[in-house]
Structure 1
């Protein structure tokens, strides 16, 4: 009886370890695939591209004052505005709660008009809980310099986005810490 219990316990542990190992391999393969796809874009040196880092403004304040429904409305609205303006030119990724990245490989020469279309779409948006939305963004183009990695591009775009965000809060007289 005692050895049968040991065998059952060993089988259960073995099955658990096998499943855990499979899940780890699956997660690792997804991370490596995503890294490979990002690095693949970097290898296309003869292709023009633009990387845009985007972040919603006033999301915490909206959540604190109006609740999660209003917060979710802003995130969905921002996503829809991005799809409308950028989807036919590149890929849109949500990388955090209210943080997005757009990778454009087509029509980089039209980037200014694409960004104007995005700004107009954001400006014209009106929702159920809120009447406006604000999105800060930073843009990096391949023509600026030779970049060593996606991380370097992301860092440049983030720095520009955070400067844009700082300018927004300074201009709108909103204190982000409230």
Structure 2
């Protein structure tokens, strides 16, 4: 004989957990309104709670007109779809075509829910097939190609809970497809009771897992802002120091040579004096955009401060390769730049210096000193060659 649960206690527990889950999800949303995916989770949790309450109240009140099953099924499907969409957006997988597909599924859900409202077997098969797929996919997406082990660990609880919910749904689906009479026997069925019990508890675990994932994401964003230059969005001095320490440790272990390249904008003070600091900020921002395009994928670029920028270039095996890298950077950064505020055109140019580990030093200070000296030699050579300051055309 199958072990049965007290249905009254189960219903009360379910209602309490559902309301608690929604309140927690609402708080998560209020704290992380700008975080992608969270609004979808919040609405999905609300719909899941409404669908579950509709099903429970229908089972207790003995509603048999089909409206309760239609509402419960359609709302449940919409909720699962929102959960998956929220998870995809949370992980950065935004797609207009996918959203259009999901919108096209809404009338399909409504039509099928109405068509199967009086056929519990067909209704459960249709509903469980989609809910199982959505929940399993949501769980996999949370841990798919995470950026770090820390992110994987932060998302693991929510991912595991989502997959477990999907497995519970698949268990009931398998019983229904196998013709097990207990799968559709209403609230008195042990299958229904354990389905509600397991689903409710895993749903709470999913909610708390999302709170951990959102907290981790929020902390990551705070750390990024603390290490990011507010004007150019390039790494700031703090991040540069961290990256240099990491690069130095790896280079000492592997014997790899790397170059520290610094550059500044020629006659930058003239821009501030003639056009104002807002124009100077625009020049720095546009130069940072050019710099991102100029460096290789394996290199690291940041802003030291003022008009000085730095690049850590890995795998500098020869002086010829370093010269090629420096000249490519110069070609990308030098050239005309139009100021949006004044309409003036500036002929910008940069001075560049480089130092190589370990030949020119084995610490950030010594390499910076060597690169700085090299940059000022470059600046002097340019002035001797051109004998003219930064030219401006209105």
Q: TM-score, normalised by structure 2?
A: 0.33
Alignment match, 2:348: 133
Cα distance in structure 2, aligned partners of 1:34 and 1:111: 20
Determine if contact 1:70/1:130 at 8 Å carries over to the other structure: no
| Structure with more helix by fraction | 2
Cα distance in structure 2, aligned partners of 1:155 and 1:117: 23
Determine if contact 1:136/1:164 at 8 Å carries over to the other structure: yes
Q: CA deviation at 1:174?
A: 4.5
Cα distance in structure 2, aligned partners of 1:41 and 1:55: 23
Cα distance in structure 2, aligned partners of 1:63 and 1:153: 29
Cα distance in structure 1, aligned partners of 2:377 and 2:383: 10
Q: 1:142 aligns with which of 354, 357, 361?
A: 357
Alignment match, 2:328: 117
Determine if contact 2:240/2:302 at 8 Å carries over to the other structure: no
Greater relative CO (CA pairs within 8 A, separation 6+): 1
Write the deviation string for residues 55-92 of structure 1: whole angstroms up to 9, x where unpaired. 11111111111222331232123212211111523111
Write the deviation string for residues 77-120 of structure 1: whole angstroms up to 9, x where unpaired. 32122111115231111011111110011465533332222222
Q: CA deviation at 1:54?
A: 0.8
Alignment match, 1:8: none
| 2:269 paired with 1:63 | no
- Check 1:135–1:34 CA distance in 2 against 1; reply closer, same or farther (3 A cut): closer
Cα distance in structure 2, aligned partners of 1:60 and 1:38: 29
Q: CA deviation at 1:37?
A: 4.0
- Check 1:108–1:98 CA distance in 2 against 1; reply closer, same or farther (3 A cut): farther
Count matched residues.
Answer: 148
> What SS does structure 1 have at the residue aligned with 2:338?
coil
Determine if contact 1:49/1:104 at 8 Å carries over to the other structure: yes
Cα distance in structure 1, aligned partners of 2:238 and 2:382: 36
Alignment match, 2:309: 100
Gaps of 5+ in 2: 1-222, 228-236
Q: 2:283 aligns with which of 74, 84, 93?
A: 74
What are the within-5 Å matches in structure 2 for residues 8-27 of structure 1? Answer: none
Alignment match, 1:170: 384
Alignment match, 2:246: 40
Determine if contact 1:125/1:131 at 8 Å carries over to the other structure: yes
Q: TM-score, normalised by structure 1?
A: 0.68
Q: CA deviation at 1:137?
A: 1.0
- Check 1:174–1:148 CA distance in 2 against 1; reply closer, same or farther (3 A cut): same
Cα distance in structure 1, aligned partners of 2:239 and 2:288: 24
**Cα RMSD for the two superposed structures:** 3.0
| Structure with more strand by fraction | 1
- Check 1:59–1:81 CA distance in 2 against 1; reply closer, same or farther (3 A cut): same
